[in-house]
Homo-oligomer: A and B are copies of this chain.
């Protein structure tokens, strides 16, 4: 690779002058700027970030560690948001994926440390509580889509309770009175919080207990999550006979749509359907289009970077970890 000294030689100036031109520092004669820029172009010189890092002690790198995040479509948006924000702030994201074969967070953290990452973002696939070792205290660290078991890290999660509350209120507002909530696996934090919101809305409207039904569309068998949305949907719709179904995720809503089609019920008229996710293309491909609570993943990714940059700048100041709950947006389409 061509170095700053080679450029200097070709341009006939000292290498420091070249450095000034490269870093747009003032105090270089116009004629020299031109000579240097010509030489740079001719040789195809690019500054070596690594060299600059050792000297400046600033890497401009943010580590992004994800627990399998990048295989799950919805939360990929977190990464995208983080990427965008990082780029806007002149930072580079270094992405590492945890997976079943390498479930060792600490090893990836070490990797980030060796690259002199200035801060770390840890992102989870679904809203959950995660255990972290002391190692994670080394650098400014922000959690996204999860919280730590000890609540000792700044975290950014969707406001699932508010989301559950809001969508239920909307259903009630539109006149639905007999609602089936087909929730996610209740071990998931998101499921619990949404359920709280759901119940709160129900109570506020004074809906008696026999007017709603909560069921789960996921079963955990030997550690693996099994989807049983199909059977549950069919059974609940036929036996409980709700006038609206609230689904834990858009994928489950597909199931509900299929069941309702078979039964000849018209969605949005005979029965309302709502859901959570706003998962890439699915709500729009369904007919009628699915009204669903969008999880603000992209925005959360952006916030994570913003927060971690904040922590980096205020590194020395003591601070309390903050827990951000990002509101979810209802995409109000045609299904209820």
Q: Give the Cβ gap from A225 to chain B, nearest Cβ, in Å.
A: 11
Tell me if A44 is interfacial: C-beta within 8 Å of chain B.
Answer: yes
Taking CB atoms and an 8 Å cut-off, the chain A residues in 201-243 that contact chain B are 227, 229-230
A285 pairs with B76, CB closer than 8 A: no
Chain B contacts of A101 at CB under 8 A? 84
- Return the contact of A281 from the options B46, B80, B110, B251 (Cβ within 8 A): B251
CA distance A20 to B261 in the complex (A): 70
Tell me if A23 is interfacial: C-beta within 8 Å of chain B.
Answer: no
Chain B contacts of A93 at CB under 8 A? 95
Q: Which residue of B lies closest to A138 (CB)?
A: B44
CA distance A47 to B116 in the complex (A): 9
Number of this chain's copies in the complex: 2
Q: Give the Cβ gap from A259 to chain B, nearest Cβ, in Å.
A: 9
A227 pairs with B50, CB closer than 8 A: no
B80 pairs with A92, CB closer than 8 A: no
Chain B contacts of A113 at CB under 8 A? 46
> Which interface residue of A53, A77, A284 has the most chain B CB atoms within 10 A?
A53
Interface residues on A, range: 35 or more
Q: Which residue of B lies closest to A95 (CB)?
A: B95
Chain B contacts of A150 at CB under 8 A? none
Taking CB atoms and an 8 Å cut-off, the chain A residues in 239-289 that contact chain B are 251-252, 254-255, 257-258, 261-262, 264, 280-282, 284-287
CA distance A84 to B80 in the complex (A): 19
Q: Which of A66-74, A159-167, A186-194, A305-313 contacts B (4 or more CB under 8 A)?
A: A66-74
Taking CB atoms and an 8 Å cut-off, the chain A residues in 70-99 that contact chain B are 70-74, 76-77, 79-80, 83-84, 87, 92-97, 99
- Return the contact of A280 from the options B72, B116, B227, B229 (Cβ within 8 A): B72
Q: A46-B110, A251-B282, A257-B258 are in contact. List 16 more A-B contacts (CB 8 A).
A: A1-B116, A48-B114, A49-B114, A50-B59, A70-B70, A70-B76, A73-B280, A83-B96, A95-B95, A227-B284, A254-B254, A254-B282, A255-B285, A258-B261, A258-B286, A262-B264
Chain A residues proximal to chain B, CB less than 8 Å: 1, 44, 46-51, 53-54, 57, 59, 70-74, 76-77, 79-80, 83-84, 87, 92-97, 99, 101-102, 110-111, 113-116, 138, 227, 229-230, 251-252, 254-255, 257-258, 261-262, 264, 280-282, 284-287
A-B contact pairs, 24 of them (CB 8 A): A46-B113, A46-B114, A47-B114, A48-B54, A49-B115, A50-B51, A50-B53, A50-B54, A50-B59, A70-B70, A71-B77, A76-B76, A80-B99, A84-B101, A87-B102, A94-B94, A94-B95, A230-B285, A230-B287, A251-B285, A254-B254, A254-B282, A258-B258, A261-B261
